[in-house]
Structure formats: C-alpha cells, structure tokens
Structure 1
Amino acid sequence: MALTGCKSTTALEQEYSSTQVVVGSGASAESRIVATIYAEALRGTGIGVSTDLGVGDRFDYVRALESGRISVVPDDTASLLAFFQRSNAQNTPDSAPDAQKAGGETAATSDEPGAVSAVEEALSRALPQYLRVSDAALAERGQTLIVDDGTARKWDLHSVSDLAAHCADANASLVAGLVSDAQVRAALAESYGCTFAVVDVVGAPADAADAVTQGLSEVGGVTTLSPAASMDGFTALEDDHDSLPAGNIIPMYRTASLGDRQVEALNNVAGELTTDDLAGMVRRVEVDGRSVADVVGEWRAQHGV
C-alpha cells in the first residue's frame, strides 16, 4: 500500500504540472540504476517521463523535489527517515525527543510485498506534506566496514566486535552524509565502543575502498550494495550487534505528480527488486563497465516490470 499521509494541497503542489514526470537520481551507480528502473516502469503507464540523473546528494535532490525540478527519486528508508527527522527537529526543537525515539524503530520491511514496516510508517509521518513514498523494495542498502585481507589476518578480524579493540589506533574512510558518516560513527561508538583515531570523509564507497587499498586507512565504510563489500582482497566485517544503519530502497515523489496507476507501477518494482539483483547490477556497471541502460534492460526483461 502507498503511504499517503495528509491529503492537503500546498502551494508547492499547485505550482507544479504533472503532465511530465521527471525521475531524478543521486550520483551513484546504484541511484542511477534504480531511477532508470522507475522511469521505465512509469513510461509503461502511458505518461511522459524524462530523467535527470546525477542531481547531487540528498540535500540537492530534496531541494529539486521541493522546487518541482524533479518528480521522483530513489533513496532508502533509513537514510530518508534520519534526514527528515533531523530536519524536523531543527525546525521544531520541542519535537526532537520524539524524533529520536522514532529513529530507533528499525523493524525491517517484511518479505511480503506491500507490507508496511514501522520505519516506513515513521518515514511517512516525517515527510513534508508535498512528498510521499510508495512501497519499499525488497532490496536493502546497509552500511558495512571493510578492511584489506592483510589487516584482517594481522588483527584476526571477522566482525566489528573484533575491530573494536583496534579502533583507537585505526584510521577510517567513511562516505559523507548523515547516514553513512554521522550515524555510522554514532552506532559504532554506542554499540561497540569504537571511536577511530582519524576519520577521513570521502565522497563515495569506491573512494573509501581505494583508501583501504592504498593504505591510507585501515577501515573503509561502504554500502552492502558496493562491489567492495564482496570483492577479493577485502574482508567485510560482520555487524554482529546489528547496529549499523540499513534501509530498504524506496521511491519518494511529489504528492501531485503521480496518479494511482503510476504508484502501482512503482509498487510492482518494489515486489521484484531484490538486494542481490541491485548489487549485481551495480557490479556490472562499476566493475564490468556496462551501461546503466543495458543492465536495467536485462533486468526488466527478466522481471517484466
């Protein structure tokens, strides 16, 4: 079911024409892949659809949604919930304790397509009135820590708990952003007592992996969808306390931009797109050099969406 929330129409909605839907994305291969899948699914409903891939970071594409430059963008439930709860807490300080409490709702999305998790419900409440989300996909994006195999052998590392004793002497490269930087550090400190000697904030998971390869950092923070999470030469550490942020891929859209048929098309994608599917497509783009259009075309042919 789509999370529709409040039905009121704002000035932002009134100034935006829904005759042409624009699907935006972040700069990562993962975001561009999912945005392309959404765009093709929406075209199948008979409406005009264009894409604006690589809009920027989360702040950029939320602003683009607000202005009407784009209509739809992919993200994940955990990242969006943290982003909007933080924004709401800054705008209304008295609500900050409730926002923090809601942020602790980490129930995973059910394997039943269309089931709504506690995180999705909290996200729907946190969104501004001009934004909505539809069903979250089966595909999940989590955060994971990697070290090179040599460091894993030297320190006998298999899990984040194993790493905790070495954090004070280790440098880490983490991806910039609320979830992949601040929340990762907070989760590590709270659940594992792990605070790194130095944290280098980088732009993408590939940059974090490169820093580990080059010996600039002992630890890299990447997503579970990143090729580095399963690439030879790296050891991905088990999050044995299940504390690192993880959320399911979800489309966020301007309230007035999509009708019931379009929302249903996005929900159909949600029921087909798995973590393995998306990780495989990201690898084919980032490692094998395939085009986003090609890998999305192959996936759609297999899944009929």
Structure 2
Amino acid sequence: MISGALRRIAAALVTATCVVALASCAGDEPGPVVTVGADGSAESIVLAEIYAQALARAGTATAVRTGLTAPLADLDAGRIAVLPARSGALLDRWNPASPARKPEEVVAAVNAALPQGLSLSDAADGTDLRARVVVPDASPVRAVAALPCAELTAGFAESPGFAPSEPSPIEGCSFATSVRFASAKELRQGLRDNVIQVGMVNGPVDGRVLADENYALRAQNLLALFRSGIFDRQRAKKLNYVAGELTTEGLVELIDKVESGTAPADAARAWLDAHGL
C-alpha cells in the first residue's frame, strides 16, 4: 500500500511535469492573429488570401478581412495589419508631385513617403498594372508619350475583377475632355464611333494598346504594405518570396478564376502550391 508521503511526492512530480509542459506549449503558441485586408475586388481579395496563407505557412496565425471601403485608414488604425497595394497608387496618394516614374524610382519614393509605422515588402517586378491606353486601329500614334492630349477626348473604364482606381495621370498630358464608360466593351465602341479618340482601362483590354517604355504612366507594381515591427525576418521573407513569383499574367489568371466562381482561398492555395511557397 502506498504511504501518504509517497502519494504527496508523486503528486508534486506530476504537477511539476505539467508546469514544464505548459510552459513549453506556451512557448510554441503563435502570436496575435495578423489580419490581411482587402477591398471588394477579386484582385485585392485573392492577393490578401495569398499573403495570409503564405504567412500561415511560416507559422503566423492569420485572418482575411474583405470588402473594406477605406483599407489604408483601416491599416493606419490597426484594424488590419497587411494590405495588398500598388506602388504607383501609394505614391499618388502620399506624394503625387513626385517625379518618380520607373519601378525602382517609384518604390524608393514610396518608401520615402511612408507614414510612420508602415513598411513595404519587396515589389513584384513581374507585375505591370499600369492602365492600358488604347487608340483606334487607324491612329498614327504608337506610344503614350506621343499622344496629342490637348486635342483628344479620353474615355475611362474599369476591368472586371481589378482593383478600382482613379484615371492614371499621364506625364505632361491633359486631355481636352473625358468620359466615363461602364465597361471596356462600351469604351471600345466609343472608340469605333469616334466619341473618344483614346481610351484608358485599368486591366486587360482588346484593341491597339500603346507602348509606354518611358513610363509616361507611373509604374504600378504589386507589393504588400504592413505595420512595422510585426514580422520577424523569416515571415518578412515570405512576403518577399511571394513578390518574386507574382506576374501580370498570373494575376490575370487568378482574377479570371475568382470571377468565374473559384473561391479566392482555393485559388490562392493552388497558386502557392504551384510556386512552392
């Protein structure tokens, strides 16, 4: 029969073991949940899922919050911690007078203009989300910089699934007048009917797209904007790895899938798996 003294010793050992186990488990617990935000567009939502799932694979507890009407304000207020963004759009917001046009210049200018407490991931060099500028087939103009803007009526339209944006300013260009169209299809009809002489669309568009090798339109590369100090080096690298794999063509494919009914989380998971992330 076990004596009372032995029972007390055994109980003390069990208690000590439990305390050590709890301390060990507590050390392995993930930190606070990192919320990745998105507006209501397929582009923003699927990118938020990609960033969230990439971070989750690095051991970060994450959540995705979509349908935000003022995501930058939510980021500033701490309601979200990470936000997919476009480099040029951020510069247009924080320093629109900046002369930076090319990708590296724009990212450097955004970093210089960042509000306190915010940081950037690497930019996705393989993405080019500048507006597509289209003209009638008979137009003699071949490049954006050669447009006789003061003589032209411009049309603007959004592409389904792409993040909404204000009409992209063209360096040194001020159109005579402008017209908003409900769709890229209606914009193309406006070109055919000569209602407009040039069109700008924030995504893929059929027609003759003008070259812009000198970045008359400010560069628009994807990146992640996040609250400073929330990631260690390993997790910050995860965001940079994502940037290294994103391309314009890949994003278009992802948006098409989501617009066709694929759940954004499923599309993101398949993309991450395909790219070994």
TM > 0.5: yes
CA contact (8 A) 2:38 2:71 kept: yes
Q: Counterparts of 2:146 and 2:78 in 1: how far apart (Å)?
A: 47
Q: Is the 8 A contact 2:154 2:177 kept in 1?
A: yes
1-structure distance, mates of 2:100, 2:174: 24
**Secondary structure in 2 aligned to 1:145?**
strand
8 A contact 2:101–2:217 mirrored in 1: no
Give 1:242-257 correspondences, 5 Å limit.
Answer: 242-257=215-230
Scaled by the length of structure 2, the TM-score of the pair is 0.74
Deviation at 1:282, TM superposition (A): 2.4
**When the two structures are aligned, how many residues end up with a matched partner?**
238
Rounded to whole Å, the distance in 2 between the matches of 1:32 and 1:270 is 16
Aligned counterpart, 2:108 = 121
1:123 is paired with a residue whose SS is helix
Q: Which residue of 1 aligns with 2:84?
A: 74
C-alpha offsets along residues 102-124 of structure 1, whole Å, 9 cap, x if unaligned?
x223343xxxxxxxx34333322
Q: Report if aligned partners of 2:102, 2:215 keep a CA contact under 8 Å in 1.
A: no
1:84 and 2:63 matched: no
Distance in 1, matches of 2:204 and 2:155, equals: 18
Distance 1:124 1:171 in 2: 32
State how far apart, in whole Å, the 2-side matches of 1:105 and 1:178 are. 22
Question: Residue 216 of structure 2: SS of its match in structure 1?
Answer: coil
Larger Rg: 2
Tell me if 1:265 matches 2:238. Answer: yes
Distance 1:128 1:271 in 2: 25
Q: Structure 2 CA distance, aligned partners of 1:290 and 1:261?
A: 30
Q: Structure 1 residue 284 and structure 2 residue 257: aligned? A: yes
Asked if 1 retains the 8 angstrom alpha-carbon contact of 2:154 and 2:198, the reply is yes
Q: Secondary structure at the match of 2:137?
A: helix
Q: What is the alpha-carbon distance in structure 2 between the residues aligned to residue 195 and residue 83 of structure 1?
A: 19
For 1:178-189, list aligned pairs within 5 A: 180-181=166-167, 183-185=168-170, 187=171
The 3 A distance-change label for structure 1 pair 268 and 178 is closer
Counterpart residue number, 1:144:
132
Q: Is 1:211–1:220's contact at 8 Å kept on the other side of the alignment?
A: no
| Unaligned residue ranges in structure 1 (runs of 5+) | 1-17, 87-99, 109-116
Answer whether contact 1:208 1:221 (CA < 8 A) is retained.
no
Work out the CA distance in 2 between the residues paired with 1:84 and 1:161.
25
Name the structure 2 match of 1:62. 72
1:1-305 to 2 correspondences below 5 Å: 19-56=32-69, 60-86=70-96, 100=97, 103-108=98-103, 117-138=104-125, 139-147=127-135, 151-153=136-138, 155-160=139-144, 163-164=147-148, 168-173=151-156, 180-181=166-167, 183-185=168-170, 187=171, 190=172, 194-201=173-180, 207-215=182-190, 217-223=196-202, 226-228=203-205, 231=206, 234-239=207-212, 241-286=214-259, 288-305=260-277
| Gap runs ≥5 in structure 2 | 1-30
Partner of 1:63, secondary structure, is helix
What is the CA distance between 1:209 and its match in structure 2? 1.2
Once residues 270 and 197 of structure 2 are traced to their aligned partners in structure 1, the CA distance between those partners, rounded to angstroms, is 37
CA gap 1:218/1:54 in 2 versus in 1, 3 angstroms? farther
Q: CA deviation at 1:19?
A: 0.7
User: Which residue identity lines up with residue 105 of structure 1 in the other structure?
Assistant: A
Structure 1 distance, partners of 2:154, 2:100, is 30
Counterpart Cα distance in 2 of 1:283 and 1:178: 16
Identity of aligned residues (%): 30
Compute the displacement of 1:163 (Å). 4.5
Distance (whole Å) between structure 2 residues aligned to residue 270 and residue 161 of structure 1: 29
- Kept in 1: contact 2:91–2:113 (CA 8 A): yes
